[in-house]
Amino acid sequence: MSDKRERTIVDLRMEDPERADATIFGRRTDVSRRGFMNGAGLAAMSAAVGGTIVHSATMPGGLIPAALAQDAKKAPEAAAAQGPQPFSFPGKDPGLSLLGERPLVAETPEHLLDDETTPLSKFFIRNNGQIPEKAAQPDAWELTIDGEVNSPLKITLGELKKRFATKSLYAVLECGGNGRSFYAPQARGNQWTNGGAGCAKWTGVSLAEVLKAAGPKASATYTAHYGADQHLSGDPKQVTLSRGVRLPKAMEPECLLVWAMNDAPLENIHGGPLRLLIPGWPGSVSHKWLTRITLRDKEHDGAGMTGFSYRVPINPMVPGGKGDPKNFKILESMPVRGIITNPANGTKLPAGTREIALRGAAWAGDDTVKAMHVSTDYGATWQQVELGNPRNKFDWQRWTARIKLPGDGYYEIWARATDSNGRMQPHAAPNWNPQGYGGNPLHRIAVLVG
């Protein structure tokens, strides 16, 4: 299994995936043979992934092995600049992957989400505009509640802390575009894998209590959020992002005005001194550097509310097509997602290793996770794992499992979560849309034994 041969099959996949599959799995039209590797194909694929493919008999035809999936993303057409870049930011783990410099966006590789509660050093960063200067006097930060209210409110953070009861909860914050990189053809935007998410302990006051203090009118049906970050252009008249939610969501007891994250004052990069937390829904509604919430009598139409932004198709559209805006609805609850946080993708284990311990996390927007399964044979058989309970609503659920490995060689570990409504993660990113929302295919990692 020479180096030369290894490059050949990988290169072939980059240049002509159809032909690479035909080489490995037999002619694509030959239905009877698809899904079973022929001898030459098996040797080529084994060389490419670095070891004997133990469960080759059930490896689906056309599958890009997890060991090569990252390389596949580096294909020339997949804009080189969008692959993971080295990352450096004060207080942040250099293991985060930089997805964009301007605005600054970085995700957390799955194996760095291995803590019960994601440390600040590992928490993902998503900005749409410029990062504001750190507030010199956090308690003097002002928040305005206006619009469809009887008594508009202007209140400082210091007053918020005194006037309302402090609340804490563990909650997942997840970018609406999490999983976008799994779409084919490629969708527009930051190429998140599964790491546009983290679970922190958030402390603040109930958003509902503060809205009630302003006396919402009967006409109030929707929120509109505004923050202090400037548009990338520097033009103060342009709004970076202004999203909102239906009022009943905003009134849920877990929606918070947050000033502390993991028991520390909210850092500037995460929207300090004051941000919103609307758990279970796309991260973009959890406004950072929050200055104003306006109650409206209709759906909000701010930056990020219209067109294809944070919207998904009602009826399936042609992948890669343009899409009809009338066929789109606002993405609200995030879909179910489970990840393997240990071992890391690409882990090499000593020859003779016959059992490994797995760890992971799973969450499901407004819902909970009912079950989590893992497979080492490309989904032919599944094993149910030990799944923990959320510490409170909107917390993620940690899971553990022990799996047997019958021999040395190449394995893929697949992990698939099922939500409390019985919905499972699909095999591939579903319901293609131009900006790639809702991409929650099952998570898979490559492991090489020996």
Ligand X SMILES: Nc1nc2c(c(=O)[nH]1)N[C@H]1C(S)=C(S)[C@@H](COP(=O)(O)O)O[C@H]1N2
Residues that bind ligand X (CB under 6 A): 123-129, 173, 175, 227, 229, 240-241, 270-271, 283-284, 286-289
Q: How far is the CB of 117 from ligand X (least distance, A)?
A: 14
SS3 track for 361-375: EEEECCECEEEEEEE
Which residues contact Mo ion by CB under 5 A?
126, 175, 283-284
Closer to ligand X at the Cβ: 128 or 168? Answer: 128
Closer to ligand X at the Cβ: 271 or 441? Answer: 271
- Cα–Cα distance measured from residue 49 to residue 67, given in angstroms and rounded to the nearest whole number: 6
- Closest-by-Cβ residue to ligand X is 283
Q: How far is the CB of 74 from ligand X (least distance, A)?
A: 25
Q: How far is the CB of 105 from ligand X (least distance, A)?
A: 8
Put residue 257 in one of left, alpha, beta given phi > 0 → left and psi -120 to 50 → alpha.
beta
Q: How far is the CB of 107 from ligand X (least distance, A)?
A: 10
Closer to Mo ion at the Cβ: 46 or 181? Answer: 181
**Residue 73 contacts which entry, ligand X, Mo ion, none (Cβ below 5-8 A, type-dependent):** none
- Cα–Cα distance measured from residue 197 to residue 186, given in angstroms and rounded to the nearest whole number: 20
Closer to Mo ion at the Cβ: 107 or 254? Answer: 107
Report residue 282 as tokens: 């796309």
8 A C-beta contact, residue 284 and residue 304: yes
Closer to Mo ion at the Cβ: 108 or 284? Answer: 284
Closer to ligand X at the Cβ: 279 or 441? Answer: 279
Report residue 203 as tokens: 């402390």
**Residue 124 contacts which entry, Mo ion, ligand X, none (Cβ below 5-8 A, type-dependent):** ligand X
**Residue 192 contacts which entry, ligand X, Mo ion, none (Cβ below 5-8 A, type-dependent):** none
Q: How far is the CB of 191 from ligand X (least distance, A)?
A: 14
Q: How far is the CB of 190 from Mo ion (least distance, A)?
A: 8
- Give the number of other CB atoms < 10 A from CB of residue 110: 22
Residues 6+ away with beta carbon under 8 Å from 326: none
- Give the number of other CB atoms < 10 A from CB of residue 7: 12
- Give the number of other CB atoms < 10 A from CB of residue 255: 27
**Residue 356 contacts which entry, Mo ion, ligand X, none (Cβ below 5-8 A, type-dependent):** none
8 A C-beta contact, residue 195 and residue 108: yes
**Residue 338 contacts which entry, Mo ion, ligand X, none (Cβ below 5-8 A, type-dependent):** none
The full length of the chain comes to 450
- Cα–Cα distance measured from residue 359 to residue 166, given in angstroms and rounded to the nearest whole number: 33
